[in-house]
Amino acid sequence: RYPKEIPDAYERLLLDAIEGERRLFIRSDELDAAWELFTPLLKELEQKRMAPELYPYGSRGPVGAHYLAAKYNVRWGDLGGSEH
């Protein structure tokens, strides 16, 4: 039906890498900055054995989000703009 086989996502990604297409890849300095930013956070999460707070699908999010937002004088779910 199709005259040409279409590569799957991974084949396309590898082909892009071989051909020097850089839009889908991170530079080494960006990677270093990401590790510098997230390593302390990941270590703290591991040390404190923190786990994501579960919440029901379709809900307004975890209860803890309301407390975190209130700590910074923000109501969870506010999109900014007018007050209600």
Where in the chain are the domains? 9-51, 55-84
pTM over 0.85: no
Based on the number of CB atoms within 10 Å of its own CB, is 66 exposed (0-12), middle (13-18) or buried (19 or more)? middle
Which residues of the chain register pLDDT less than 70?
Answer: 1-2, 77-84
pLDDT of residue 2: 63
Residue from 26, 4, 1, 2 nearest 13 by CA? 26
